[in-house]
Amino acid sequence: MRDQKSAKSNGARDRCGIYRRRRRRTRTYGALDLGTNNCRLLVARPTVEGFRVITSFSRIVRLGEGLANGDSLSEEAMSRAIDALKVCAEKIENFKVSRCRGVATEACRRADNKDEFLGRIEEATGLKLEIVSSDEEARLALAGCQSLLSADSDYALVFDIGGGSTELIWATCDEEGFDVVDILSLPFGVVTLAEQCGTNSIPSRLYDDIVGEVAHHLPDFCRRNAIRRKVDEGQVQMLGTSGTVTTLGAIHLDLPAYSRARIDGLHLQFEELKSAASRLTCLDYENRAAIPCIGHERAELVVPGCAILEAICRFWPVGKLRVADRGLREGILLELMAADRRGTVSA
């Protein structure tokens, strides 16, 4: 970053464009996720149990704004993202991150000016981001949250309702944990749907149309994995990792302010999810924004997320799910740390 020459003498450049320092007693790791809606960073050090977060950063940048109606990232959206990434780069340098991986997801996958954008990011911040496939995004999300899955169930249906897409992961349990069997990436996310629906209340007919459109994409994935039969036999657990389910968890608990400690790992019955969603879908934008754990930046996004979630829950009536306030970034951190323990370089 700032003192490139001295850094070069101590190590090699890593995936984020930050120089790795050799033979540190306790290494510090970074995971950077530039999504369709958020720019988020975690910096952590390994512990016996996993890792301890040293610092974090999250900012809504709406990178995918306008992509539903075009093929390019807008100048305003790119500028917002670069401003947030400058903060991330400073934190990565200030906390002396040894190894870092930065990824970009659906908005960059979809945009025809993604290469220009990545070049601007590197020039402005020194960060080198990689655009990961939907399969890689889903795999990392599962790696980051699978400690919340129970070995008592043979199968897991994990979903991540993102800003520009929704990933569904079908996983099976073996003696070493859960492995990805199949992945379905849906071309629906809370940002793209919110742009189509507007910021105020979504009419019930339009809400039902979203539920039906999402459900239309599920049968093939269901059939090829025999998911419905396994659900009926009680062999499937469900885990949700997204702002939609964490928000509904906070609404269910009537939290005066969002608390990760209260939400991460929370078990919710489908009826509890439905009740919390109903409390939000009947409100207009201003009343949703007045709820402390939602606010103005998320008030227009939560209702489209509820529609996606309702389609998933209707199609696979597991009856309950577990909420994960963790995912892709945690998966990146765990893989970087595991690679160092093995003495290999993570891809």
Alpha-carbon separation of residue 276 from 28, 306, 317 (angstroms): 39, 9, 17
pLDDT band at 333; cut points 50, 70, 90: very high
Q: Answer yes or no: is pLDDT of 28 > 70.
A: yes
Cβ neighbourhood burial of 74 (10 Å; 0-12, 13-18, 19+): middle
Instruction: Evaluate if residue 190 carries a pLDDT over 60.
Output: yes
CB 280 within 8 A of CB 249: no
pLDDT in tens, 212-241: 999 999 999 999 999 999 999 999 999 999
Rounded CA separation 283/287 (Å): 6
Give how many domains the chain has, as a whole number.
Answer: 2
**Would 336 be classed as within a structural domain?**
no
Q: Are residues 27 and 66 in the same domain?
A: yes
In the predicted model, is pLDDT for residue 343 greater than 70?
yes
At which residue do the structure tokens 């790795």 appear?
20
Do 85 and 109 lie in one domain? The reply is: yes
Whether pTM > 0.75 for this model: the answer is yes
Range of the domain at 108: 4-132
Q: How far are the Cα atoms of 74, 156, 201 from residue 234, in angstroms, in the given order?
A: 46, 11, 36
Burial label, 19 (beta-carbon count in 10 A; 0-12, 13-18, 19+)? buried
- Residue 333 maps to a domain: no
Residues 257 and 314 in one domain: yes
Say whether both 151 and 279 belong to one domain.
yes
Kind and range of the H or E element at 323? strand 320-323
Residue 239 β-bridge partners: 158, 322
Q: How many contiguous H segments (helices) and E segments (strands) does the chain have?
A: 16, 11
Check whether residue 190 and residue 248 sit in a common domain. yes
| Residue 25 confidence (pLDDT) | 59
Give the tokens for residue 232.
Answer: 């009926």
What's the confidence (pLDDT) of residue 104? Answer: 97
pLDDT > 70? residue 22: no
Residues 225 and 295 placed together within one structural domain of the fold: yes
The tens digit of pLDDT for each residue in 134-160 reads: 999 999 999 999 999 999 999 999 999
Q: Are residues 165 and 307 in the same domain?
A: yes
Residue 1 has pLDDT above 50, yes or no: no
150 shares its domain with 287: yes
Half-sphere exposure (CA, 13 Å, Cβ side) for 224? 8
